[in-house]
Amino acid sequence: MAQSNMSVIPSTTGTWQAPTFNYNTPNATGVYCLQTNLYQNNTLLDTDSVCFNITLDADGDGVIDENDLCPNTPPGASVDADGCADSQKDTDGDGVMDDIDAFPNDATQWADYDGDGYGDNASGNNPDAFPADATQWSDADGDGYGDNPAGNNPDAFPNDSTQWSDIDGDGYGDNPAGNNPDAFPNESTQWADTDGDGCGDNMGGNNPDFFPNDPTQCGDADGDGYGDNASGNNPDAFPADGTQWSDVDGDGYGDNQQGNNPDAFPNDSTQWSDIDGDGYGDNQQGNNPDAFPADATQWSDADGDGYGDNPTGDDPDAFTNDSTQWADSDQDGYGDNANGNDGDNCPNTPLGEVVDESGCSQSQIDDDMDLVMNDVDACPDTAAGQSVNAVGCAQNQLDDDGDMVNNTWDSCPGTPMGSEVDLAGCADSQKDSDNDLVKDDVDQCPNTAPGSAVDGVGCADEQKDTDNDSVLDSDDICPYTPAGEIPDSNGCSGSQKDTDSDYVTDDIDQCSQTEAGASVDAVGCSEAQRDSDGDGVKDIDDDCANTPIGTEVGDDGCEVDEDDDGVPDSDDDCRQTNAGAVVDNRGCADYQSDSDNDNVMNDIDDCANTVAGTSVNTRGCADYQRDSDGDGTFDDKDDFPEDPDFDTDTDGDGVDDSVDAYPKDALRSSLEESSGTLMFVSVGVIIAITAGVLFFVLGRKDEDGVSAGAGLDASSEAMFSGESLEDMSMATAVGASAVQESKEMLTEEDFAVETQETQSTSQQWQDENGVHWTMNEDGSMLWYDNNTAEWIPLQQ
């Protein structure tokens, strides 16, 4: 504090005046000191001081104003080291203050209705698929059942959207329309029923299906692979006999020959036994009974003569349908019993020879009487008297070369056997129709021009096509064209030509017009002709060699970027970006993007993360993001958004609470003026306080031997800017005029004190700290607390 001059004070009988203390209210937290100096005739006799701490904390949150980043913290709110309560912070910048943000460090989430730790924003991080169910939050397969097995309605198959329940716990879902459905949802040992017959496919389970692919069979008691259901497929005719299962003819004997009581005739219900195993039944009343049941070589005797009908059996009957004959010694078909039917006139006919109705063969007959028996007579109708050869033929009957032309008329008697001949008895192998010295049978060109040179098959060049390419050899300059290849008019195919002379034949040359001298690859293409990535731009001009197939490219072979912003058109959401503009990975500049979807483009959006659906101004800011008057209070909370001096009007009367005497009463805002009497009381209180201080100082000095008539000069010096003692008690000092009092105690000659008089003419005022004061008629004082909106009595 600066030194204060005192008024003249009488020592005994005179009057004295209390000093006026002039000071500046401290505006910083720190340690302050008050010093009092005692002078006599301008000589310092003594000094005294007192120091104290002053802490400035306007919002009372325990953080001094100099360090408080949030000066208007609501009363009672917990704050961090910067003096900010959760209601004043938005750590993740998502537009929701931390006190109501369930995820203060995640800008994509802020609400958690069911409190399970997963956010309700479906498009944010770790979204809650079940925002109203605290036991579930994830649904990987999207079937509406939660992945937490301990939660409500858990999904037994979290990765299969077609299944969610498994009542019997066998790993197969209960939804019959889903993947791998459980055919037996209440039976844990069964789950599949391929044939739908009600019996499970699991052989180790209950009621297994021995025939999983046959809906007509289920059980197999004897385990022979045939079902016990008589009306099903492949039923077991012997369900209690594992060696038998079929009885096609229904005679009671099984068809399995290795089984019990096998049926020797499974398709004949009249037969079942065949003791001799010859295939004929022993039951004489059945079909095909065995006439010789003990002889496996015989079973039938059609004519009943006692000889079996099987010619290879014992005692066979040579005449099975003639009871008068049974033997045929020469086996010519005529019986040896001369008294029987068709007796044999030639009983010794050589074996195998054909006989006539008398039992005689051709070797025993000479019909043309040429002394050559019919069996060797090649000419059975030789005219009587003709000389014949060993085979009974005269010359007019012979054809020595066997060409069907008698020797008498045959011009080519040595015709090879089997050759086709003309009327003169000549075959192609004996003729040369075109006189080219190649016989007709090997002459592939029978009409060769006279004098032409021919090859081994009688063909001249103008008649041949050696390589079968449809170009005659006389015109074919490529005589060995591979089979199947298409030649040109000169007989040359693609594999035989190299049109552009690049040493790659035309059949594999993918670049047929290669310029002379150019180096080519295996398919005949030079660098100027290749388009390795198939984008339509030759490699020599292609700046982007490995363009994906189907990509639209420019003349340089690179993917098109119409606006030259560095993002290919295929990925560019903004293809008309201005030249030079900085773009994001979608190819959009700020003036083309609206990240927070508030209809204000990023380049002019001062508030980039506005909450969806919030109304904004032309700069993209909502009221909760804007502080129009720069007073530190956002417009949505500021009752005076255009006035930096005011921000709160609790009662809505248009008067800020800081200057409203009745901040909760919309009908009034100012106190009535006080009476003169109250003002005098006020001044009296201040004088009494001042006099008490002075008498305390004088008393101490008197005890120390200082004369009562010494002059007193009080001054204060602060380590920082000072404040009166009254401020320590939450009271603001008010300048008061000194009055004359107690003249008997001090005389004018003893002390001289100057004072500055300041008369207050109102019972209400505001100090330089903005604190509102009022004084009641009884002299008591009150100050207005903005935080509680109440008048607080001053503690004396």
Q: Which two tokens stand for residue 155?
A: 């999904």
Give the span between the Cα atoms of 292 and 299, in whole angstroms: 5
Spell out the SS3 assignment of 549-574.
Answer: CCCCECCCCCECCCCCCCCCCCCCCC
The answer to whether the beta carbons of residues 79 and 62 sit under 8 Å apart is yes
The answer to whether the beta carbons of residues 4 and 716 sit under 8 Å apart is yes
Give the span between the Cα atoms of 379 and 386, in whole angstroms: 11
| 667, β-bridge pairs | none
684 phi, psi to nearest 5 deg: -60, -40
pLDDT value, residue 175: 93
pLDDT value, residue 235: 94
In 93-246, alpha helices (H): none
pLDDT value, residue 785: 85
Give the span between the Cα atoms of 60 and 458, in whole angstroms: 129
Residue 786, C-beta contacts closer than 8 angstroms, at least 6 positions apart: 648, 657, 658
Amino acid at 374: N
Give the span between the Cα atoms of 143 and 154, in whole angstroms: 11
Q: How many CA atoms lie within 13 A of 650 on its CB side?
A: 16
pLDDT value, residue 84: 94
The answer to whether the beta carbons of residues 521 and 527 sit under 8 Å apart is no
pLDDT value, residue 627: 84
Q: Among candidates 749, 621, 525, 747, which has minimal Cα distance to 15?
A: 747
Cα–Cα separations (whole angstroms), residue 315 to 208, 308, 324, 327, 339: 60, 6, 15, 10, 20
Cα–Cα separations (whole angstroms), residue 567 to 562, 563, 586: 9, 9, 7
The answer to whether the beta carbons of residues 237 and 244 sit under 8 Å apart is yes
Q: Which two tokens stand for residue 642?
A: 């255009």
Give the span between the Cα atoms of 777 and 775, in whole angstroms: 7
pLDDT value, residue 674: 41
Q: Which two tokens stand for residue 545?
A: 């060699």
Q: Among candidates 26, 34, 54, which has minimal Cα distance to 723?
A: 26
Question: Which segments of the chain have a pLDDT < 70?
Answer: 1-23, 671-762, 796
Residues in the chain: 796
The answer to whether the beta carbons of residues 196 and 216 sit under 8 Å apart is no
User: Do β-strands 43-54 and 752-753 pair in parallel, antiparallel, or remain unpaired?
Assistant: unpaired
Q: Among candidates 792, 789, 795, which has minimal Cα distance to 74?
A: 789
Q: Count other Cβ atoms within 10 Å, centred on residue 676.
A: 8
Q: What is the DSSP string of 610-675?
A: PPTT----TTS--GGG--TT-SSS-TTT-SSTT-TT----TT-SSS-GGG-SSTT-TT---PPPPP
Give the span between the Cα atoms of 709 and 696, in whole angstroms: 15
Consecutive H or E run containing 697: helix 676-703
Cβ density class 81-117: b for 16+ within 10 Å, e for less: eebbbbebbbebebbbbbeebbbbebbebbebebebe
| 49, β-bridge pairs | 35
The answer to whether the beta carbons of residues 283 and 265 sit under 8 Å apart is no
In 390-529, alpha helices (H): none
Amino acid at 751: F
Can you count the helices (H) and strands (E) in the chain? 2, 8
Consecutive H or E run containing 685: helix 676-703
Place of tokens 């399970």: 116
Give the span between the Cα atoms of 689 and 606, in whole angstroms: 57
pLDDT value, residue 687: 45
86 phi, psi to nearest 5 deg: -60, -30
Q: Among candidates 447, 446, 445, 410, which has minimal Cα distance to 426?
A: 410
Consecutive H or E run containing 784: strand 781-785
Give the span between the Cα atoms of 61 and 79, in whole angstroms: 7
Consecutive H or E run containing 689: helix 676-703
pLDDT value, residue 456: 84
The answer to whether the beta carbons of residues 303 and 323 sit under 8 Å apart is yes
Q: Among candidates 184, 181, 188, which has minimal Cα distance to 164?
A: 181
pLDDT value, residue 757: 33
Give the span between the Cα atoms of 611 and 594, in whole angstroms: 13
User: Do β-strands 43-54 and 790-793 pair in parallel, antiparallel, or remain unpaired?
Assistant: unpaired
Q: How far is CA 405 from the centre of its chain?
A: 90
